[in-house]
Amino acid sequence: MLILGIETSCDETAVALVRDGRLLGQELATQVDTHALFGGVVPEIASREHLRVLPRLYQELMRKTGVSADDLDGVAVARGPGLLGSLLVGVSFAKGLSLACGAPLIGVNHLWAHLLAPGLEGELRFPALGLLVSGGHTHIYLVKSPTEFTLLGRTLDDAAGEAFDKTAKMLNFPYPGGRYIDELAQEAEPDTGLFPRPYIDNPTLDFSFSGLKTAVANFVAEHPELVFGTMADPQAVADLPAQRRAALARVCASFNWSVADTLRIKVERALKQVGEVRSLIVAGGVAANTGVREAMRGVAEAGGIELTLPGLALCTDNGAMVAHAGWLLAKAGYRHGLDLEAIPRGRIVPLDWERVRADA
């Protein structure tokens, strides 16, 4: 079964082909440098960029893999949650292609695609506890199968990635700054008393990262010497003078620890609540974070369950995860009609697919 995956939910335009669960090829164009000029994603620009580059990426993918549209058994597209204008570009393209080549349309939940992505690298073991930590979401799911996700907890305000990026902005790092914080954090030990671990005393599995953001803002206001000048250029980070670099590294290590340990506490709590699961899946851009990866290794080891972490390229947005999730859905007999809707951020993606007989 050969599935095309299309991803345009935010600022990466990406396409990929998955045949029977294995990646055949993929193309990706990131808009990160464009949005970096504004310190965040500008939705209008993002949509226009998707519109400009998606057809070319698709043609490149088909040329390199030698696949033609008539070979496709399904056209999978990230249908949300994401930036609405951006999603509409991918969904419209997918509908047009599905109409033209006759392959069924499969609307993929972008967040589920993130969590299922490590299935491209090894077998996923269900039931699993899924932690999605990305730029727009912090969700804990019980994942019974590739098509059965129960949301157990979510952030009430900022997502983990957003907390990283906003903190990075306050520290004057280039956008998106999560990875700069992580890189510098490797050079120091955390001060575990510097920043709070937000919302851990609350008994739920929900998160709230806005308090952490405020703590950083207060810290920065008290230490203006740490953040003077602009570092919008990555070279400026590389060229930081030693003393200032060491002080910033300690801040970054402490921030990394606060986020990672907050995630650890909630995931441990979730594991107790759900009882027996076979694996812990951690996905999304923040799953690339060294502190988060380490904390999750500890949780899995203590719980005696397998830890499933996608490789770094599969953590952030990509087409492979959409094609792969589409393949899992297609295999289970799911498809959408041409009335498939795109779902903006903040709304739950409905289970509005029609189920066709797998052999139909």
Closest contact distance (angstroms) between CB of 31 and Mg ion is 8
Longest dimension (CA), the chain: 67
27 vs 317 by CB, closer to ligand ATP? 317
Candidates 97-105, 216-224, 296-304, 310-318 — which segment interacts with Fe ion by CB under 5 A? 310-318
- Where in 276-335 is the site for Mg ion (CB under 5 A)? 317
Residues 135, 153, 174, 198: which binds ligand ATP (CB under 6 A)?
A: 135
The gap between the terminal CA atoms of the chain, to the nearest Å, is 14
Cα separation, 207 vs 160, whole angstroms: 9
In the bound complex, what is the minimum distance in angstroms from residue 314's beta carbon to Mg ion?
13
Residue list 79-98, contact with ligand ATP (CB under 6 A): 82
Do 264 and 296 contact (CB within 8 A), yes or no? Answer: yes
Spatial neighbors of 332 by CB under 8 A, at least 6 apart, are 146, 147, 358
Handedness of CA 76, 79, 83, 84 (dihedral sign): positive
Kindly state whether residue 7 participates in binding Fe ion, applying the rule CB under 5 A.
Answer: no
String marking each residue 130-149 x if it binds Fe ion according to CB under 5 A: ----x---------------
Binding status of residue 158 toward Mg ion by CB under 5 A: no
- Euclidean distance between CA atoms 234 and 184, whole angstroms: 12
Q: Residues 78, 88: contact at Cβ < 8 Å?
A: no
Smaller CB separation from ligand ATP, 98 or 316: 316
* Measured distance CA(114)–CA(121) in Å, rounded: 13
262 vs 139: CA distance, rounded Å: 13
352 annotated to a ligand binding site: no
Q: Identify residues 161-220 at the interface with ligand ATP (CB under 6 A).
A: 161, 164-165, 176, 178-179, 182
Provide the b/e sequence for 215-227 (b: ≥16 CB within 10 Å).
bbeebbeeeeebb
**For the purposes of burial, counting CB atoms within 10 Å of the CB of 193, is it exposed (0-12), middle (13-18) or buried (19 or more)?**
exposed
Establish if 118 lies at the interface with ligand ATP (CB under 6 A): no
161 binds, among ligand ATP, Fe ion, Mg ion, none (CB under 5 to 8 A by kind): ligand ATP
Q: Closer to ligand ATP at the Cβ: 255 or 334?
A: 255
Instruction: Pick the stretch among 10-18, 51-59, 86-94, 223-231 that binds Mg ion (CB under 5 A).
Output: 10-18
Cβ proximity to Mg ion, 175 vs 219, nearer residue: 175
Which of 198, 285 has the CB closer to Mg ion? 285
CB atoms within 10 A of CB 51: 18
- Contacting positions for ligand ATP (CB under 6 A): 9-10, 82, 110, 114, 134-137, 161, 164-165, 176, 178-179, 182, 284-286, 288-289, 316-317
